[in-house]
């Protein structure tokens, strides 16, 4: 499915929730969700991540049957509408199993298999890769990368115990999931240290509160440039997948960053001037 190290993959976020932190929750509107996913595919998304429960601070947990009611119609439609992988964003094994049966091909667990270890077995039995995120909420802080590595090491062990091969695991350090702004920024700075885990790295900084805080309290809808900066830095530090809301812009960021950090494999093209259009001398900006 993926060829790690050759380029950065872009995961587009489709929230079928009424209370997404990012302001893009689509609620019960299946048609809107499908349109959004198709547009994301056209804008450069390699994966669509469908979620039916908000993970914002203070969110209310959604029963599995309600979560399935939200996500399954969207996944079923998307399997017919788009030709890229669909991920189910859930930590419940029951929801993951139903989503995989409906056409999803990837599981994204924000609790790293800790809340419901059976979810790793569900992925294993379906032959699907799974993303294990380190969630720092409610945990004692020792060291940013030390915490992440220790937590994800446990997630990988659980996955293997449940029959999920290590080569099908993707890790996510959980940017803004229980960290202070300073800790989140340190995590991004030291992201390359997660290579010790030997697994592909996903990062999701898109529109997060740390970006708003650093930039003087910017609201969610004004965090595009801050997101772009964090994504470029994440790619330079080894991210393999970026999880984003603004696919068109972030796909361009990924392509440009790849041209710098992965010149041997990145697909780059230098545009030449059209015939009859002169170019000024000197280095172009």
Catalytic entry in 41, 92, 243, 255: 243
CA angle 80–85–91, rounded 5-degree value = 110
Is there a catalytic annotation at residue 97?
Answer: no
Catalytic entry in 92, 168, 199, 208: 208
Helix (H, G, I), strand (E, B), or coil: what is residue 10?
strand
Cβ atoms 106, 81 nearer than 8 A: no
Structure tokens at 256: 């440009």
A 10 A CB-CB count for 65 gives: 10
DSSP string, 243-263: EES-HHHHHHHHHHHHHHH-T
Is there a catalytic annotation at residue 92?
Answer: no
Structure tokens at 5: 């190290």
CA angle 226–12–242, rounded 5-degree value = 55
**Active site residue ranges:** 208, 243
């Amino acid at each position: 499915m993926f060829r790690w190290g050759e380029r950065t993959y872009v995961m587009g976020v489709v929230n079928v929730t009424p209370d997404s932190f990012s302001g893009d929750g689509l609620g019960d509107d299946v048609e809107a969700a499908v349109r959004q996913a198709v547009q994301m595919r056209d804008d450069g998304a390699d994966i669509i991540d469908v979620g039916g429960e908000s993970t914002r601070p203070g969110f209310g947990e959604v029963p599995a049957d309600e979560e399935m009611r939200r996500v399954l119609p969207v996944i079923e439609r998307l399997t017919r509408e788009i030709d890229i992988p669909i991920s189910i964003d859930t930590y419940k094994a029951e929801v993951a199993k139903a989503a995989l049966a409906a056409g999803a091909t990837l599981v994204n667990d924000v609790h790293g298999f800790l809340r419901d270890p059976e979810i790793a077995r569900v992925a294993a039995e379906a032959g699907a890769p799974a993303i294990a995120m380190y969630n720092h909420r409610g945990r004692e802080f020792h060291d940013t990368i030390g915490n992440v590595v220790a937590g994800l090491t446990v997630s990988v062990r659980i996955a293997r115990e449940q029959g999920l091969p290590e080569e099908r695991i993707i890790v996510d350090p959980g940017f803004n999931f229980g960290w202070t702004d300073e800790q989140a920024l340190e995590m991004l700075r030291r992201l390359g240290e997660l290579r010790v885990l030997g697994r592909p790295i996903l990062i999701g900084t898109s529109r997060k509160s740390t970006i708003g805080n650093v930039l003087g309290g910017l609201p969610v809808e004004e965090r595009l440039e801050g997101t772009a900066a964090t994504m470029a830095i994440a790619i330079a530090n080894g991210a393999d997948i970026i999880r984003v809301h603004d696919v068109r812009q972030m796909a361009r960021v990924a392509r440009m960053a790849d041209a710098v950090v992965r010149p041997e494999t990145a697909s780059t093209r230098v545009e030449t001037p059209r015939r009859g259009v002169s170019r000024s001398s000197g280095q172009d900006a």
